[in-house]
A and B are shown apart, each in its own frame.
Chain A
Amino acid sequence: MSTKTETIKIALVGQPNVGKSALINSVGNARLKVGNFSGVTVRKEIVRFNRDGYDFEITDLPGSYSLTDYTIEERVTKKYLDDSEYDLILNVVDSTNIERNLYLTTELLALNKKIVVALNMTDEAVKEGVDIDEVQLGKILGVNCVKTSAVQKTGIDDVIQAIIKTYNLRENRFHLQFSEVFEEEITHIVSFLEEKKIKCKISLKALAIKLLREDKETYLRFHEEPIWTELQPIVNKAYQHLYLHYDTKDLDDIFNDEKSAVAKGAVVETVHFDKEVKQSLTDKIDNLLMHQFIGLPIFLFLMWGLFQLTFEVGSIPMDWIDAFFASLIDGTKSYLGDTELASVISDGAIAGVGAVVLFLPNIVILFLGIALLETTGYMSRVAFLLDGFFHKFGLHGKSFIPLVSGFGCSVPAYMAARTLKNDRDRLLTLFIIGFMSCGARLPIYVLFVGALFTEEQAGNILFLIYISGALIGVLAAKVLKITVFKGDDEPFVMEMPKYRLPSFKLIWHTVSAQAMMYLRKAGTYILLASVLIWFASNYPKQIEMEQEFQVKIEQTQNEETINALTNELALYKLENSYLGIIGHASEPFFAPLGYDWRMAIALETGLAAKEVVVATLGVLYGLGEEHDEESSGLIEKIRANISLPAGISFIVFVMIYLPCLAASMVFMREAGGWKYLGYLFVFTTATAWSLSFVAFNVAQVLT
């Protein structure tokens, strides 16, 4: 047999939390990959495998409660189902909550495609005393219904067989049965279309339904035809009957009523609820976690634990990574010698990428925590608990996780904002994540607070910086909500899913996908940016000056003088490098804030990474490159060179202005374009500038 294997294209559709991903994972073999982010699937993923002589190509569509435009997921799903080529729909249904799930199924049936329904979570349904007659249900819906359990891996083969069988059906009849009144009107229209011998890709019944739904395309098609003059009165009459019967003129209402009725009818006829379960485990857990008074403290404690874990446990491998890159840099240098190539590879590329990879452990732990919150179903509860407070500032309850993640690193925070379904809520959250001071800004604060305040004040000032950053953030949210993202509040209507223990495989998948994405970014954007900054701070070369200094250094014996000369040379080189030129050029812009050109450059290199700010200041204030926030030499230099008002103003600017390049790139991708990065740049820079200006002047008056 050498016939070409046929490919069955399948659209996998289901409501959220029905175990779609788990089912698809258990269908094929271990090799198939589903790049699906639990709860945050915005992109669709394709899975391919071979079974029984057919190639299966499954497109896993995002979870949707119905085929509307409410969320990004639903839009993606609807668009795919309407516009793409596929052979059949595999509709995954949660057997424990079948009526609501069948609502979506009725919408799918109305599409008039071949459908197989997988009644998933059969094991849970049995436990809850829900008994479904799948054969009868299949007859009512006119499709194949198969009981499955992704967890116990049962019914998987039956699904495959049902798919093959359905795929090979030549005829695709329209099975969805509405109420009598409705069917009567449909029959009228269908018989008219039949008399007129209308030819159509879809069945005439589906066409009639489209007419009754006021489907634009269908109307456009008929409007130009002579038949329209005859068709119109028939459709009109049908409307009048329906309006009368349903006591409303809202066609959506009528159709939604019909769909609910179909779902309910099917359940009444085929599902037997064995016993009234007293109180489910979910209810018991919710009594505690959703408690009016202790729910919130419990959540805050869990979050505190997560962040402790992120930074405490995360710091262990961080030391290893740090050491690894340090030795890699030394190794490269000793291997390639003291050449330009060695410098660009080690000081540029490796150092830059290393600084980003350094945060990988934190990111993995944070995402593990977030994935657990999401997949267990706790996240929705958190949104519920916090929505009241957040809504005051125009934010959504779910904004909390990305915002809190922002204190660690803005990169995962931007990615975490995907949990927000609504575009406007998501954008608003993305815009204010930067106000939550990330870990990389801490060294700058430590340096300046240490230099400008007494030791007793330092801790409080540091705390104040973080708190005021967050407060400015929520206030900025309010301002943005009133000005840019205005419009009606997006409704907060969310399902509180059942608590479930996620499978290890799913968690692993989610976390590893996030980690890979982060690493990929380190290997591309960061690599490029590091090399660019290295270039801008090393070129143009000052060969004459270098030689001059070299001579001077060789002439002196004094260690201190050599150090001073080396620093002077470094300063000269940087001041005359492209970066230095830019710094001088931008000095007037920063002058009203009290900064000199050195502080201006530090802020500009900080656009690449906030860690660079301290290193830059170290170089510029003449100390050579080996400086971190703890070097007392730098602290003294800062104290000597920067006034208190200028220092405070600098801190304020650092708190607010654009996050690092890596984060900006992620922001751009999550927000959906360069345009938004432009807005973010203007918004943060303007806010940072004005607030720094105010801080500088107020501090000047007070001191």
Chain B
Amino acid sequence: MKLNELKKGQLATVSEINANRELKNRFNSFGLVKGAIISIDGHSLAKKTMEICINKTHIALRASEAEKIEVTV
């Protein structure tokens, strides 16, 4: 399952990040690493962007970026 398919309030574990090196480093520095537990805070109006929470850090990202993150619920 991909991160952008989750609904508000759901919890999931990151199983894989399929991004390029730059973006992956960025994710990593926010604590978004393999095995991290994510909760979904919410989406913007057209679901183009979403807010997630990892270990107290709230992160906003586009659906197109969330697509690159594989999760297991």
**A492, B25: Cβ atoms under 8 Å?**
no
Partner among A252, A292, A489, A495 whose Cβ is within 8 Å of the Cβ of B45:
A292
B-contact bits for A41-72, CB 8 A (1 contact / 0 none): 00000000000000000000000011011100
With a cutoff of 8 Å between Cβ atoms, the chain B residues found around residue A697 in the complex are none
| Distance between Cα atoms of A516 and B41 in the complex (Å) | 41
B56's nearest neighbour on chain A, judged by CB, is: A97
- With A491-B61, A493-B59 known as contacts, the answer to whether A387 contacts B44 (CB < 8 A) is yes
Given A252-B24, A253-B24, A384-B60, A492:B31 Cβ within 8 A: no
Task: For A257, list chain B residues within 8 Å (CB).
Answer: 33-34
Is the pair A496, B26 in contact by a Cβ cutoff of 8 Å?
no
Contact A70 B22 (CB under 8 A): yes
| B46→A70 contact, CB < 8 A | no
State the Cβ distance, A114 to closest chain B Cβ, in Å.
Answer: 23
> Which of B28, B45, B51, B55 contacts A256 (CB under 8 A)?
B28
CA distance A97 to B22 in the complex (A): 23
B23 CB contact (under 8 Å) in A65, A96, A493: A493
Q: Is the CB of A380 within 8 A of B26?
A: no
The answer to whether A65 and B26 touch across the interface, beta carbons within 8 angstroms, is yes
Q: In the complex, are the beta carbons of A260 and B30 less than 8 A apart?
A: no
Beta-carbon contacts under 8 Å, B4-33 to A: 21-31, 33
Q: Give the chain B neighbours of A472 by CB distance below 8 A.
A: none
Does A414 lie at the interface of the complex (its beta carbon under 8 Å from any beta carbon of B)?
no
Interface residues of A in 67-108 (CB under 8 A from B): 68-70, 96-97, 99-100, 103-104
Partner of A492, one of B24, B30, B34, B62: B62
The reply on B43 being an interface residue by CB < 8 A is: yes
CA distance A383 to B25 in the complex (A): 22
Tell me whether A220 is interfacial, beta carbon within 8 Å.
Answer: no
**CA–CA, A321 and B52, complex, Å:** 49
- Helix, strand, loop or mixed for chain A's interface? helix
A97–B59 CA distance with the chains assembled, in angstroms? 13
Please give, as numbers and ranges, the residues of chain B lying within 8 Å of A290 by CB-CB distance.
Answer: 41-42, 51
Nearest B residue to A377, CB-CB: B58
Complex formed: what's the CA distance from A383 to B60 in Å?
Answer: 9
Say whether A491 contacts B26, CB under 8 Å: yes
Least distance between A378 CB and chain B CB atoms (Å) = 13
The answer to whether A256 and B24 have CB atoms under 8 Å apart is yes
- Interface residue count on the A side (C-beta < 8 Å): 41
B28 cross-chain contacts in A, Cβ below 8 A: 66, 103, 256, 259-260
CB contact under 8 A between A380 and B30, given known A493-B23, A496-B51: no
Inter-subunit contact A495/B56 (CB<8 Å): no
Q: Which residue of A lies closest to B32 (CB)?
A: A493
- B29 A68 Cβ-Cβ under 8 A: yes
Residues of A contacting B21 with CB < 8 Å?
250, 252
Distance to closest chain B CB from A107 (angstroms): 9
Q: How far is the CB of B32 from chain A (nearest CB, A)?
A: 8
Q: Are B23 and A380 in contact (CB under 8 A)?
A: no
CB-CB nearest in chain B for A250: B21
Please give, as numbers and ranges, the residues of chain A lying within 8 Å of B62 by CB-CB distance: 387, 391, 491-492
The answer for the CA separation of A259 and B65 in the assembled complex, in Å, is 23
CA A89 to CA B49, docked complex, whole Å: 36
Contacts of B64 in A (CB 8 A): 489
In the complex, whether B57 has a CB less than 8 A from a CB of chain A is yes
Question: What residues of chain A lie closer than 8 Å to B49, measured between beta carbons?
Answer: 384, 387-388, 397, 492
Q: List 6 tightest A-B contacts by C-beta distance, closest first.
A: A388-B48, A66-B29, A496-B58, A65-B29, A384-B60, A100-B31
Chain A residues engaging chain B, CB cutoff 8 angstroms: 65-66, 68-70, 96-97, 99-100, 103-104, 250, 252-253, 256-257, 259-260, 282, 286, 290, 292-293, 295-296, 380, 383-385, 387-388, 391, 397, 489, 491-497
Other than the known A66-B28, A252-B21, A387-B62, what 14 A-B pairs have Cβ atoms closer than 8 Å? A70-B22, A253-B24, A256-B33, A257-B33, A259-B28, A282-B58, A290-B41, A292-B44, A296-B45, A384-B49, A385-B45, A397-B49, A491-B26, A493-B59
